[in-house]
Amino acid sequence: MPRAVSSSQVQNVEDLRRIAKRRLPRVVFDYIDGGADAEVTLGENCRVYDTVKFRPRSAVATPSPDLRTTVLGTTLELPFLLAPVGSSRMFYPRGEAVAARAAGAAGTAYILSTLSGCRLEEVKAATTGPAWYQLYLVGGPDVAKAAIARARAAGFSALVVTIDTAVAGLRERDFRNGIKELMTRNPWKMLPHLPQLLARPRWLAGFLRDGGLMKFPNVILPEGPAPYADVGPMLERSAVSWLDLTWIRDAWKGPLVVKGVHTGDDARRAIDAGAEAIVISNHGGRQLDTVAPTLRVLPEVVAAAGGRTEILLDGGIRRGADVVKALCLGARAVLVGRAYAYGLGAGGEAGVARAIEILRTGVVRTLKLLGCGSVAALDRSYVGVPADWQLRD
């Protein structure tokens, strides 16, 4: 393992974040790190875990807790999956394939974003674990259907439809850093923002060896792979509606996951549309700011689902204890995004593996201290929530 992500130097996800910040250009780091508008939800996604308190059972021997869980009929060795993170190839060469390989080695699933820099076939071949494909409708239904067919042929086992991106959120850091200008390939527009790239020569060398500014090889337009560009207009032209889930389900014919649910009403609509799983998500605080943190929404969605579908959650998870709290409140498993993206930016596959190990050992330690022998045995009796957490329906 490279020294930069050695276990002696990296004790938590924040350590990986600091290393990634040193290694990556500001525009790339802030793409990972930033959120929408004033970044209120970005912060609250993390802080909400501090308001949920554990209620341990003492004098209980739990020598080797069982971390396995079953999601969509597949047994995973860990109760967390790697979430779709677009443009991961910007963080590290072949970033999506690198992260998928680390997920498979750890016995968990990797979810590939439509807006990735690696071909979906390459990513699926890189992992020994299950892989899911996350779908945006960029390019229109015909382009999406072609990607769905490729994902099915490549062996992806579930389709994740993201429903909370009618337009991209206002991520002010990206605009300040000149992300639009850097994507134009116009030297005069790029020039004021180039020093931040030149200040990270090791990253820049790897970026150029990997082909430089990437395209989106899983979005095949009539003229070829979609160029790397501002995705806001593309998303706005291809917003998902509930009606779209009908033809998407017909095209996929496999397990369907709806990501971006934030209310009990939308949970019921997703179930009615045939979702085998729901991901409670506010896009990591990158879309609509000042919405509630996802953990706060979890009890409402669990109650609305009534056991009719599997509930997953993402947002703000930085420690194994966070994973355990979400499981106690009704999540089947969680998705982690920034936690492993920091690792990818810090040190490639070794960094992702270290992020996974930090979370895994954190879950083990928390279960032992709770006196609970398995993640399957976790329930609400192991946590206390604030008195004002009343269910809304």
Please indicate, yes or no, if residue 389 is contained in any of the structural domains.
no
**Tens-place pLDDT, residues 57-67:** 999 988 899 99
Q: Report yes or no on 248 lying in a domain.
A: yes
C-alpha dist (Å) from residue 200 to 71, 181, 194, 196, 389: 40, 19, 11, 7, 46
pLDDT computed for residue 228 by the predictor: 83
Residue 286, phi then psi, degrees to nearest 5: -100, 0
% of the chain exceeding 70 in pLDDT: 96
pLDDT value of residue 322: 98
Structure confidence at residue 49 (pLDDT): 98
pLDDT of residue 276: 97
* Residue 359 covered by a domain: yes
- Name the DSSP class of 337: S
Q: Residue 50 is which amino acid?
A: D
Report the pLDDT averaged over residues 11-30: 97
Tokens 């060795």, residue located: 77
| Average pLDDT for the chain | 93
Residues 6+ apart with CB under 8 A from 175: none
What count of residues does the chain have?
393
Region 80-93 average pLDDT:
96
**Domain extent at residue 362:** 3-383
Can you read off the two tokens belonging to residue 296?
């706060």
Each residue's pLDDT tens digit, 33-58: 999 999 999 999 999 999 999 999 99
Helix axes 13-23, 338-370, angle to 10 degrees: 170
Position 40 in a domain = yes
Least confident of 172-176, 348-352, 356-360: 172-176
pLDDT of res. 3: 52
Q: Above pLDDT 90, what percent of the chain?
A: 83
pLDDT surpasses 50 at 362: yes
Question: Using CA atoms, how far apart are residues 331 and 315, in angstroms rounded to an integer?
Answer: 13
Whether residue 390 is contained in a domain is answered as: no
Q: How far is CA 290 from CA 36, 40, 169, 345, in A?
A: 9, 6, 12, 28
Question: Tens of pLDDT along 103-153?
Answer: 999 999 999 999 999 999 999 999 999 999 999 998 899 999 999 999 999
193 carries an active-site annotation: no
Sequence-ordered strand ranges (E) for 120-268: 131-135, 158-162, 215-221, 224-227, 256-261
- pLDDT above 90 (res 2): no
Domain of 67, CATH number, reads 3.20.20.70
pLDDT value of position 7: 67
Q: Which two tokens stand for residue 56?
A: 């341990």
CA–CA–CA angle 350, 353, 354 (5° rounding): 85
- Give the DSSP per-residue string, 47-73: HGGGGSEE----S---SS-B--EEETT
Cα separation, 116 vs 103, whole angstroms:
17
pLDDT band for position 4 (50/70/90)?
low
Structure confidence by residue, pLDDT tens digits, 224-252: 998 887 676 777 777 899 999 999 999 99
CA distance 294 to 315: 6
d(CA 339, CA 256): 25
Q: Are 259 and 53 in contact (CB under 8 A)?
A: no
- In this predicted structure, the answer to whether residue 390 has a pLDDT above a threshold of 70 is no
Task: Report the SS3 class of residue 169.
Answer: coil
What pLDDT, on a 0 to 100 scale, did the predictor assign at position 26?
A: 96
Looking at residue 5, what is its pLDDT?
Answer: 67
Structure confidence at residue 266 (pLDDT):
97
Q: Is residue 320 part of a domain?
A: yes
Q: Residues 373-386: pLDDT tens digits? A: 999 999 999 999 99
The answer as to whether 42 is a domain residue is: yes
Residue 176 has pLDDT above 70, yes or no: yes
Structural domain total, the chain:
1
Direct distance between the N- and C-terminal alpha carbons of the chain, in angstroms, rounded to an integer: 49
Mean pLDDT computed over 388-392 = 66
What is the tens place of the pLDDT at every residue in 297-336? 999 999 999 999 999 999 999 999 999 999 999 999 999 9
Out of 171, 283, 319, 325, pick the active-site residue: 283
Q: How many Cβ atoms are within 10 Å of 193's Cβ, its own excluded?
A: 18
**Could you identify the residue written with the tokens 């009908």?**
246
pLDDT at 393: 42
Residue 125: CB atoms within 10 A of its CB come to: 14
* Range with lowest mean pLDDT among 85-89, 216-220, 224-228, 234-238: 234-238
Residue 82 falls inside a structural domain: yes
**Quick check: 26 and 15 in contact, CB under 8 A?**
no
- Residue 187, C-beta contacts closer than 8 angstroms, at least 6 positions apart: none
